[in-house]
Amino acid sequence: TMQEEYGKALEYYSKSDSVIQLHNVGALKYNIALNTGDAFDRLNHSDSAFIYFSRSLQIAHSLEDGDLIGTSMTGLGHSYRKLGNYRESLVNYQTGINYLLAAQDDEILCEAALGLAKLYEEINKYDSASHYANLSLTIAKKDGFLSKELDAAQFLTDHYKKLKSIDSA
């Protein structure tokens, strides 16, 4: 995944999942479901991503871990947005953000805020899109998440170009 070879990552995740299931390694079930969902999401296979993010959310709820719940809901927000179900996407992003704030998970909070910005841009709520993208950028800068900072900056550049606000871009 770090090398952006998502198809190959899915092969390894599948093999890992087989071992995890065979030996019932409960501690890794959440991670493999979440990572598999993430790889499918990056390949824009939203139906498959949805299945794995949903599985990770079930596991997170069983563990009663707010940080994991927020992370899974962020993934579901991505899936719902890409599938065109904007209402469910909004609910998952907003609820996920609340869990992430409580858990103080700024890295995933950056991702959730940028996902929400993308959603708002798709539904033509440009002020909200700017707000959440700037939130993502601010948190990423504060915490030194360079890749998250780059993602937010690229979104904002494209966003302001689309709005013909060249000074802001």
CA dist., res. 113 & res. 94, Å (int): 9
Q: Are 108 and 75 in contact (CB under 8 A)?
A: no
What does pTM read for this prediction?
Answer: 0.94
Distance from the Cα of residue 10 to its chain's centroid: 17
Average pLDDT, the chain: 96
Q: What is the DSSP string of 37-64?
A: HHHHHHTT-HHHHHHHHHHHHHHHHHHT
| pLDDT value at residue 113 | 98
> Residue 166 pLDDT more than 90?
no
Q: How many helices (H) and strands (E) does the chain have?
A: 8, 0
Summarised one tens digit per residue, pLDDT across range 102-160 is: 999 999 999 999 999 999 999 999 999 999 999 999 999 999 999 999 999 999 999 99
pLDDT bin (cut points 50, 70, 90) of residue 168 is confident
pLDDT of res. 167: 82
Per-residue confidence (pLDDT) for residue 84, from 0 to 100: 97
> CA-CA distance, 96 to 40, in Å (whole number)?
20
Question: CA-CA distance, 39 to 44, in Å (whole number)?
Answer: 9
Per-residue pLDDT at 48 exceeds 90: yes
The confidence score (pLDDT) of residue 147 equals 95
**What is the mean predicted confidence (pLDDT) over 84-99?**
98
Q: What are the tens digits of pLDDT across the range 63-74?
A: 999 999 999 999
What is the arithmetic mean of pLDDT over 2-12? 95
- Amino acid residing at 5: E
169 pLDDT higher than 90 = no
Distance CA(51)–CA(116), nearest Å, equals 20
